[in-house]
């Protein structure tokens, strides 16, 4: 059985999804979970893009063990130097990923260079990168719109320079499974030294075909798949890791000769973490990790599943670490049931964190009839907040309604002292945010505000994420509560504390 290398680019291409920026600690937290998940390569970022990203990649490379750590670089010495400096702490597990566009449209309009020069630059870049790490990956960007004979020449020559992985990107999500499968076969048949490198694929989802294209490539000999958790990424996103892995696992009849190292029971947890930290909500109908992925609504289906699960379920929810959102816990549940439930979800907490999570669980169970797994994840994630709480919310009140100017009063604590303030606003949340601004003196810009319900029902937890910018820093703050104004205030306070700690 041959192994398909799972190259996870959630922290690089995934982070290029509009609105999904991650700080250093968040990147490390996701990288750690990716290791638990069993990914082989983590593309941690694009170090030349910003100082923050370079530092984040470096922190990932120095703290994460158990996967190859990769950094992206254009075919420029400065990029390759920055990539190398960032991944150096990963020592023998460091990879540099160099790319250069090979399609006519990119060469003519973006790079403004003829083919021969592109070829020379690619060759020199790989040669330069190879002096720094033995593990060098090359991507001819926009490969699927590149002229075949030129593409073959570039691939052959960069392999001669020592590229160990050749990644074929469908940069603009343009190809289809039949065409892409044929391209992989053609590369194998027309590049004489192709056996010296692993063929990788990197598919975007502009036509909704990223996963199908990646799987077609695997059937034609690709042995590394580039993907992201929840399929997040530039524009319509990248191929979704969980869909590719579960397709390979579920259809053993088709993918009999390949396997991955992914521990599928970690999938749901990884999905939740990435959604929470990027602020990118998973659509309910998203395959594998959407909240409806294992729910049966129609009577016929429910009847079928009760008689024999396999009638309407091709995947056991437990196999992806999803334990259903049926009846879980409520206000009568005790500490034992609570901790057992956490353990079955793969969540381990210290005794102290468990005590405080249990208190929060009880508070929530008083407000809400049923506490679902999604609610538990929210409580636990709150426990993990690591940013120092310079400003803490004591209480808030709002006055609003028809024909009333919304007003909010807020009390915050900082360094043992209590500060109060009030303000009017366009709505109750705006009024709260203005009152917080008055008290803290932090005049941040609200770039984005989102609210989602964590689970279903009228008493569902509302989860708010806000993106604030202040003094050249942008952060995401999150808060959850059954009261959406409280969730909004908590999210804003979380962001304010993060801005201060920056």
Please report, as ranges, the residues that interact with Zn ion according to CB under 5 A: 13
Per-residue x/- marks for ligand KIV, 266-285, CB under 6 A?
A: --------------------
Decide if residue 171 touches ligand KIV (CB under 6 A): yes
C-beta of 238 vs 370, nearer to ligand KIV: 238
Report how far residue 415's alpha carbon sits from residue 283's, in angstroms, rounded to the nearest whole number: 41
Residue 139 or 370 with smaller CB distance to ligand KIV? 139
Of residues 16 and 488, the one with the C-beta less far from Zn ion: 16
Interaction of residue 243 with ligand KIV, rule CB under 6 A: no
Q: In what order do the strands lie in the sheet with 392-399?
A: 392-399, 407-414, 417-424
- On whether the CB atoms of residues 66 and 90 are closer than 8 A, the answer is no
Q: Could you tell me the end-to-end alpha-carbon distance of the chain, in angstroms, rounded to an integer?
A: 48
Q: Does 103 bind ligand KIV (CB under 6 A)?
A: no
| Residue 40 binds which entry of Zn ion, ligand KIV, none, CB below 5-8 Å type-dependent | none
Stretch that binds ligand KIV, among 88-96, 115-123, 166-174, 421-429 (CB under 6 A): 166-174
- Among 21, 32, 102, 139, indicate the residue that binds ligand KIV (CB under 6 A): 139
Q: If binding means CB under 6 A, how many residues of this protein chain bind ligand KIV?
A: 10
Task: Report, in Å, the least distance between residue 9 CB and ligand KIV.
Answer: 7
7 makes contact with ligand KIV (CB under 6 A): no
Report the residue from 169, 279, 321, 479 that binds ligand KIV according to the rule CB under 6 A. Answer: 169
Which residue from 282, 228, 277, 234 is spatially nearest to 21, judged by alpha carbons? 277
> Are the C-beta atoms of residues 203 and 172 closer than 8 Å to each other?
no
DSSP string, 228-255: BGGG--STT-B-BHHHHHHHHHH-TTTS
Q: In this chain, which of 135, 141, 375, 486 binds ligand KIV, going by CB under 6 A?
A: 141
Q: Does 231 bind ligand KIV (CB under 6 A)?
A: no
Say how far apart CA 363 and CA 378 lie, in whole Å. Answer: 13
DSSP 132: T
How would DSSP label each residue in 314-337?
SS-GGGGT---SSS-B-TT--HHH
- Contact of 417 with 434, CB cutoff 8 Å: no
Q: Minimum Å distance from CB 99 to ligand KIV?
A: 4
Could you identify the residue written with the tokens 């807020």? 410
Query: Cβ closer to Zn ion: 70 or 496?
Result: 70
Strands (E), 36-126: 41-45, 68-74, 94-101
Distances (CA, A) of 51 to 45, 251, 462: 11, 43, 34
- 8 A C-beta contact, residue 17 and residue 280: yes
Residue 441 near residue 412, CB atoms below 8 Å: no
Stretch of 128-136, 167-175, 295-303, 455-463 contacting ligand KIV, by CB under 6 A:
167-175
Say if residues 462 and 454 touch (Cβ distance below 8 Å): yes
**Least distance from Zn ion to the Cβ atom of residue 66, Å:** 24
Distance CA 191, CA 184 (A): 11
Q: Among Zn ion, ligand KIV, none, what does residue 139 contact (CB within 5–8 Å per kind)?
A: ligand KIV
Residue among 167 and 481 whose Cβ is closer to Zn ion: 167
- Is residue 53 within the footprint of ligand KIV (CB under 6 A)? no
The per-type count for the chain, helices as H runs and strands as E runs, is: 16, 16
CB of 171 to ligand KIV, least distance (A): 3
Q: How far is the CB of 367 from ligand KIV (least distance, A)?
A: 44
Q: Considering only residues 394-423, where is the footprint of ligand KIV by CB under 6 A? A: none
d(CA 291, CA 179): 33
Q: What tokens does 377 get?
A: 């994840």
Q: Which is nearer to ligand KIV, 108 or 326 (CB)?
A: 108
Cα-based distances in Å from 264 to 192, 253, 267: 37, 19, 5
CA 54 to chain centre: 18
Choose between 72 and 248: whose C-beta lies nearer to ligand KIV: 72
Quick check: 202 binds ligand KIV (CB under 6 A)?
yes
| Smallest distance, ligand KIV to C-beta of residue 475, A | 25
Shortest Cβ 174–ligand KIV spacing (Å): 11
Site string for ligand KIV, 57-86 (x = CB under 6 A): ---------------x--------------
Return the one option of ligand KIV, Zn ion, none that residue 141 interacts with (CB less than 5 to 8 A, by type).
ligand KIV
Least separation, in Å, of the C-beta of 388 and ligand KIV? 36
Binding site for ligand KIV (CB under 6 A): 13, 72, 99, 139, 141, 167, 169, 171, 202, 204
């Amino acid at each position: 059985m041959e192994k398909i290398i799972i190259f996870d680019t959630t922290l690089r291409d995934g982070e290029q999804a509009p609105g999904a920026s991650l700080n250093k600690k968040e990147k490390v937290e996701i990288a750690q979970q990716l290791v638990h998940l069993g990914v082989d390569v983590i593309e941690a970022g694009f170090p030349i893009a910003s100082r923050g990203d370079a530092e984040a990649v470096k922190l990932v490379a120095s703290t994460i063990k158990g996967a190859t750590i990769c950094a992206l670089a254009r075919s420029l010495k400065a990029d390759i130097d920055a990539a190398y400096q960032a991944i150096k702490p990963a020592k023998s597990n460091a990879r540099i990923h160099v790319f250069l566009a090979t399609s006519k449209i990119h060469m003519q309009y973006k790079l403004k260079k003829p083919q021969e020069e592109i070829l020379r630059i690619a060759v020199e870049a790989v040669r330069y990168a190879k002096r720094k790490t033995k593990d060098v990956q090359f991507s001819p960007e926009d490969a699927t719109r590149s002229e075949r004979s030129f593409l073959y020449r570039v691939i052959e020559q960069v392999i001669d320079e020592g590229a160990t992985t050749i990644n074929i990107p469908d940069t603009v999500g343009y190809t289809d499974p039949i065409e892409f499968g044929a391209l992989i076969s053609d590369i194998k048949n027309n590049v004489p030294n192709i056996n010296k490198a692993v063929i990788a694929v990197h598919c975007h989802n502009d036509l909704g075909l990223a996963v199908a294209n990646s799987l077609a490539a695997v059937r034609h000999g690709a042995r590394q798949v580039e993907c992201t958790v929840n399929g997040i990424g530039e524009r319509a996103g990248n191929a979704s890791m969980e869909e590719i892995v579960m397709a390979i696992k579920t259809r053993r009849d088709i993918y009999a000769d390949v396997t991955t190292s992914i521990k599928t029971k970690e999938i749901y947890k990884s999905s939740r973490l990435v959604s929470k930290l990027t602020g990118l909500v998973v659509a309910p109908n998203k395959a594998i990790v959407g909240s409806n992925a294992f729910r049966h609504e129609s009577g016929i289906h429910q009847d079928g599943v009760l008689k024999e699960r396999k009638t309407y379920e091709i995947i056991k929810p437990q196999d992806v670490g999803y334990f259903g959102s049926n009846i879980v816990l409520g206000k009568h549940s005790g500490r034992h049931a609570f901790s057992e439930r956490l353990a079955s979800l793969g969540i381990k907490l210290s005794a102290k964190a468990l005590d405080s999570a249990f208190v929060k669980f009880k508070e929530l169970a008083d407000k809400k009839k049923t506490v679902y797994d999604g609610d538990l994840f929210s409580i636990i994630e709150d426990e993990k907040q690591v940013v120092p709480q310079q400003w803490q919310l004591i209480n808030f009140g709002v006055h609003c309604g028809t024909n009333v100017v919304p007003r909010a009063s807020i009390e915050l604590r900082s360094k043992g002292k209590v500060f109060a303030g009030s303000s009017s606003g366009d709505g109750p949340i705006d009024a709260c945010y203005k009152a917080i601004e008055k008290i803290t003196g932090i005049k941040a810009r609200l770039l984005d505000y989102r609210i989602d319900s964590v689970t279903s029902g009228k008493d569902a937890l509302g989860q708010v994420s806000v993106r604030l910018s202040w003094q050249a820093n942008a952060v995401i703050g999150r808060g959850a509560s059954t009261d959406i104004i409280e969730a909004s205030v908590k999210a804003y306070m979380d962001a304010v504390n993060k801005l201060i700690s920056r």
